[in-house]
Structure 1
Amino acid sequence: MSAATVTTEPTFSRVPAGDEATGQDCIDLATGYGVPLDEWQADIIRGVLRETDGGWSASQAGLVVSRQNGKGQILIALELFGLFELGEQILHTAHSVRTSSDAFRRLWNVIQSHPDLAGRVRRHSQMIGAEYVELDSGARISFSTRSASVGRGLSLDRLIVDEAEDLPAAEVGALAPTVFSRPRAQSIYFGTAPGVTHDAAAFGAMRATAHSGLNPRLAWWEWCADWGHDVDDQAMWVRVNPAVAAGRIPLQAIIDDRAILPVEQFQAERLSMWPPTTARHVPIITESAWEKLRADSPGLDVSPDAFGVDMSHSLHISVVACWMVDDRAHVEELWAGTDVASAVEWIVAAATDTCEVVIDDYSPAAQLIPELKPRRIELRRTNARDMAKGCLLFETRMNAGTLTHRGQQSLTNAVMGAQKRPIGDAGGWGWDRRDSSVAIHQVVAATLALLGATWAGDKPTGEAFFL
C-alpha cells in the first residue's frame, strides 16, 4: 500500500448529525492532560459527543476495531471529560477483571499525575474488581466486570461496555436499565470482531442495526476486513488497523502476530473479520404452515387475556397481546418502538384489571418493570423455566393448529428467523436468533403473552402478583 492510499477512515460509519463543540472541548482537555489522540480517535470523540437540541445526538455509540489500536485512549478522554467537566455518573464494564482493572489504572495514572485533578478526588478505591473514583462534585466512575446483576439499581449518565464482543443477553438485561432515567444518558459499546468462543449476539445485533440504519440515534464506526479476504494481504492489515495507518504502531507488530496466532484468532483480533452464519437455517415452522394459522383479530372491543413484552438487543420493544378464543389462542403485535416511556404509557392505558403483563427477568425489557411498579399493573416476571414452558406451549399449539395470528410481517419475520436453543438438560428450549441480523423479540413477546393468557385461565399453576 503506497503512502498516497493509506487512510485511517473507517471501513463503515454512521453518525447522527450534531454540533461538535463539546467533543472538541473533550479532546482539548484530554490532550492538555497528556492523553494523546490520533485524528481518527478524535473524530470518534467528536461524533460520540455531538449534540442536538440540548442532548446527545446519539443515545448509543459503538466501535469495532482490532486490538491494540487505541480504544482505551478514547475511553480515557471521554471519562476524564465526563468526570471533571460534565459531572457524570459513569460505569465502565468489561468482560474480564484484568481489562476493567487496567482501564481504572490508566485513568487513575492520569489523575494522579496532575495535582489539580488529584486535588478534586474525594475518595477512591483500588481494590481489584471494585475500583472507583469519586470527586468533590459528586461525579463518580466505577469499574466492574459484567454479570447478570451488575448495574442493577444504578442510575447512570454514561455506560461504557468494553469487550462488547462478549456480552450475553442476561448482562444486557442488567445494564440497559441503568441509563433509562437520566435525561442525557449515553451507552458506549467498544469491542473487536467476535471469536468462536464469544457470545456476540448483542453486539452483532447492534452492528446489524447500524448497517441497516434502523436506529437513527446509534453512532457507529468500524474497521473490519471482509470475511474471506486474504489474511496475508498486508495492505488490508494497514487498512483495518488505523493505528498502523497513522504510524503509531509499526507494521512489524502485525507481522509478528501473524507468525504466532492461529488464523481464526488473527482474523478476529487483528483484522476484525466478522464471521458470517454459514449453517443452513431451518425455521421451527414452514412459511406455508404459518400462513395457514392466519385468522382475523378478535376485535378491538374484546380485551386481551395477557400482554407479552420483549426488547431486542438493539433496544427495540414489542408488545404482543394474546386472546383465548374457544379452543384457540390468537396473538398480535399491538405496539412497537424504541421509546421506553411511550411503551410504559401504552401498556398502562391498555392493560385491564384482569390482563396480565408478562416480562422475562433476563430480557432487556426488564427495565420497564420499575416504571410499571407504581402503576399497579398485574405483572408476572418469568425465568428460564417459564420460557421453556412457553416455547413448548407455542410449538404445541402451532402444530395442533390452535395458535392463530393476523399475518403481521414483523411477527412472521421473527418466527421464520428464530431457532431453538437448549434450556436446561431436560429437553427444554428457548428462542434464539439464526444470526445477528434477525430480530426475534416479537415472537418472544408472543410466547410470553401466550404463557400469560394460559396462566390467566389456570390460576392453580401460580398466582400473579402486584407490584
Structure 2
Amino acid sequence: MTSPNSGPSAEQPPSKSSGAEGPYGWQEPPIQVSPPSVSSAGQEAIDLAARAGLHLDPWQQHILRVGMGEKPDGSWASFEVAVNVPRQNGKGGVLEARELWGLFIGGEKLILHSAHEFKTAKAAFKRVERLIRGCPDLHKRVKTYRQTVGEEGIELHTGQILRFIARSKGSGRGFTGDCNILDEDMILGDDAMDALLPTMAAVPNPQIWYLGSAGIGAPSVVLGRLRRRALAAIEVRSADPSLSYFEWSVVPHLAECPADCAAHDDVASDEAVLKSNPGVGYRLTLEKVARERATLSPAGYARERLGVGDYPSDSADTWQVIGEDAWRALAARESAPEGEVAFAVDATPERSHAAIGVAGEWRGGTHVEVVDHRPGMGWVVERAKQLHKRWRPRCWVIDGGGPAGSLIKDLEEALSEVEQELTGNKEAVVEVVQPTVRQIGQACGSFYDAVAEQSLSHLDQAPLATALAGAQQRPLGDAWAWARRGVGTDISPLVAVTFAKHGLGVEVEETGGDILDSVW
C-alpha cells in the first residue's frame, strides 16, 4: 500500500463512547507506505487494550492493523514500523497496545522499549504498569514489576519480559529482543542503532517500531532514512518490502507558489491542523492549537504542530548516479541545438512544479537544456505553443503514466492548432510521444551513457544540477529510471531533458519546416 500527500477524509466520527468532540483530524495519514499482508494481529491488540481500559482512536487502530499485518506464513509483513506524528496526539497509546499484545498474546520473550531520556522511558513504564494493574486478568499473570532505577520492567510467570531503558551506545547490547520499541525516534542516531538492531538477528520473527515527531536536523538521521525509503516507495507507486511508514504532516506553500496553488498547505489554516493532527477531536482542539500558533515561532509551530521536519541526508545521498565533477566537466556555455530538436515535459508528483526540456545535436553529440521550469502546471500548454511555433520540433515527449500525463490531451489539441496555422493544413495533427516503460529505461540509460562517453553538453543550469544532485535510480525491469531522493527534491528538469534526448531518436511523422535561429 502506498499513499502520497493526498486526501483521506478528516471527518471520521468516533464511537459514542469515546467522548470525542469534532472536528476531527485525518484518521489516515497523508503519507503512508506498507507491504502487502494477508492477515493482521492488530485487532487482537486493539481488543486487549480495550480490556485494559485503553480505548484507541481510529487512527491508532489503523496503525496497529496495518503495522501488525502478517504474511501467509504468519510472520510480520513489516520488519520495521515507523510513526511520525506531532506531539500530544496520542502516539503513546499505539506503543502501549503493541506492548500489551507482545506480552500477553504474542508470546514475545523480550520486548525492549527505549527512549532518548530515562525519564521518558520511566514514564512509559508507569503507564503500562497502570493499565495492567487495572485489569485483574492481566495483573494475575505478572510475576514482578521491576522498579529498580534503570532496571524498570514487567516479567510474567511464563517468562515474557518488557524492559524500559534509556538509549546509549551500548544500552542495547546483550539483549535479544523479539520486538524493539524506539520512542522519540527524532533523536536516534547510528550509535544507538548499531547497538540495538543486531540484537534481533537471531530472532525468528522480529519487529522494530519507531515512534516520534518531525525531524529536528542532525539528530534525526535514522528517521530521515526511514522517511526517504517511504517517499521513494511512493515515487515508484510500490511498497517498501519491509517498512510500514505513517506520517501526519503538511507541505507548506513556497514563496514562488501562485495564489491559487492547491499542491501545498496554508500553515495558518485549520485544514493544515486537521491534516497533520489525528488527535484533534479526541485530545486536541482547534482552539488549543490556535493559542499555540499565536505563541510559538513560525518555524516552531510548523515543526511541533504541523509535522514540518528537518531531515538530514547521508553524504551518499547527493550526486548518487552521475558524479558532480563528471557533470560539471560537460558544461559548455556556447553549446546550442543544431538542426532538429525535441521537447519534453515533466512534473513533480505533487504537481507543484513542471519543466520543459529540449535536446538537439551539437558538434557530433547532444545538447540538452531546461527551457522553462516554474511552479504549477497551468502555464505549460501556452508556453509549449510558443516553443512549437518558433522551433517546429520533430516531437514532444511526455510520460503518459506520470504526473504530466494529464496535460497530453490539451497539449495535442493546442499544438495541432499551431501546426494547422503554420502549414495551412486543416488536417494536421500533432501527437505527443508517450514512451513505454521499456523506452523510459532505455532513455535513462542512453542519457547516462552520453555523460560517461562525454558526448553530451549542457549550460550548467542550476535546476538541472540540483535535480541530478538529488536523483536516485529506481529499478525498471532489467533497466532503471530516475527517482528523487525525497519530497523536497524536484527532478522534473532532469526527466524532461532525458525524455527530450530520447525524442531525437524516436520514429515520428515529419512535419517539415526550418528551425529558427533564436534563443529563449
Paired with 1:193 and 1:282, the residues of 2 have a C-alpha distance of 22
Distance 1:135 1:3, change over 3 A: closer
Cα drift, residue 227 of structure 1: 4.2
Cα drift, residue 3 of structure 1: 5.5
TM-score, normalised relative to structure 1: 0.58
Distance 1:436 1:164, change over 3 A: farther
Aligned to 2:240: 215
Aligned to 1:100, the other structure's residue is in SS state helix
1:254 to 271, 279, 289: 289
Aligned to 2:42: 23
2:269 to 233, 254, 262: 233
Paired with 2:207 and 2:318, the residues of 1 have a C-alpha distance of 38
Distance 1:250 1:142, change over 3 A: same
Cα drift, residue 253 of structure 1: 2.0
Distance 1:276 1:54, change over 3 A: closer
Does residue 81 of the first structure (1) align with residue 66 of the second (2)?
A: no
Paired with 1:12 and 1:127, the residues of 2 have a C-alpha distance of 40
Does residue 34 of the first structure (1) align with residue 45 of the second (2)?
A: no
Distance 1:20 1:260, change over 3 A: farther
The amino acid of 1:109's aligned partner reads: R
Cα drift, residue 126 of structure 1: 2.0
Aligned to 2:225, the other structure's residue is in SS state helix
Paired with 1:131 and 1:195, the residues of 2 have a C-alpha distance of 29
Paired with 1:174 and 1:49, the residues of 2 have a C-alpha distance of 24
Size of the aligned set, in residue pairs, is 298
Matches within 5 A, 1:82-231: 82-88=102-108, 89-196=110-217, 199-213=219-233, 215-228=240-253, 229-231=265-267
- Kept in 2: contact 1:205–1:436 (CA 8 A): no
Cα drift, residue 230 of structure 1: 3.4
Aligned to 1:265: 300
Cα drift, residue 86 of structure 1: 1.4
TM-score, normalised relative to structure 2: 0.53
Cα drift, residue 129 of structure 1: 3.3
Cα drift, residue 91 of structure 1: 0.4
Task: Report % sequence identity.
Answer: 33
Paired with 1:2 and 1:39, the residues of 2 have a C-alpha distance of 11
Aligned to 1:447: none
Paired with 2:65 and 2:311, the residues of 1 have a C-alpha distance of 31
Cα drift, residue 80 of structure 1: 0.6
Distance 1:274 1:114, change over 3 A: same
Paired with 1:13 and 1:141, the residues of 2 have a C-alpha distance of 28
- Kept in 2: contact 1:63–1:222 (CA 8 A): yes
Aligned to 1:11: 30
Paired with 2:152 and 2:91, the residues of 1 have a C-alpha distance of 20
Distance 1:436 1:92, change over 3 A: farther
Aligned to 2:66: 47
Matches within 5 A, 1:57-68: 57-68=77-88
Paired with 2:327 and 2:220, the residues of 1 have a C-alpha distance of 32
Paired with 1:204 and 1:250, the residues of 2 have a C-alpha distance of 29
- Kept in 1: contact 2:83–2:245 (CA 8 A): yes
Cα drift, residue 124 of structure 1: 2.3
After superposition, what is the alpha-carbon deviation per residue over 1:195-253, rounded to whole angstroms, capped at 9, x for unaligned? 25x51111101110112127311011111111444331221111110110x44422222
Q: Which runs of 5+ in 2 are unaligned?
A: 1-8, 13-22, 234-238, 254-264, 330-451, 453-468, 471-484, 489-520
Paired with 2:486 and 2:56, the residues of 1 have a C-alpha distance of 32
RMSD: 3.2
Aligned to 2:377: none
- Kept in 2: contact 1:100–1:129 (CA 8 A): no
- Kept in 1: contact 2:168–2:192 (CA 8 A): yes
After superposition, what is the alpha-carbon deviation per residue over 1:292-327, rounded to whole angstroms, capped at 9, x for unaligned? xxxxxxxxxxxxxxxxxxxxxxxxxxxxxxxxxxxx
Paired with 2:79 and 2:185, the residues of 1 have a C-alpha distance of 17
The amino acid of 2:57's aligned partner reads: D
Aligned to 2:289, the other structure's residue is in SS state helix
- Kept in 2: contact 1:195–1:264 (CA 8 A): no
After superposition, what is the alpha-carbon deviation per residue over 1:5-53, rounded to whole angstroms, capped at 9, x for unaligned? 9632210111222134421111111112211101111011011111112
Paired with 1:75 and 1:100, the residues of 2 have a C-alpha distance of 12
- Kept in 1: contact 2:230–2:240 (CA 8 A): yes
The amino acid of 2:241's aligned partner reads: P
* Structure exhibiting the larger radius of gyration computed from Cα positions: 2
- Kept in 2: contact 1:227–1:274 (CA 8 A): no
The amino acid of 2:201's aligned partner reads: F
The amino acid of 2:141's aligned partner reads: R
Distance 1:275 1:26, change over 3 A: same
Matches within 5 A, 1:67-466: 67-88=87-108, 89-196=110-217, 199-213=219-233, 215-228=240-253, 229-244=265-280, 246-275=281-310, 286-288=324-326
Aligned to 2:186, the other structure's residue is in SS state coil
Cα drift, residue 181 of structure 1: 0.9
Paired with 1:33 and 1:2, the residues of 2 have a C-alpha distance of 28
Paired with 2:66 and 2:11, the residues of 1 have a C-alpha distance of 27
- Kept in 2: contact 1:231–1:267 (CA 8 A): yes
Aligned to 1:271, the other structure's residue is in SS state coil
Paired with 1:177 and 1:143, the residues of 2 have a C-alpha distance of 18
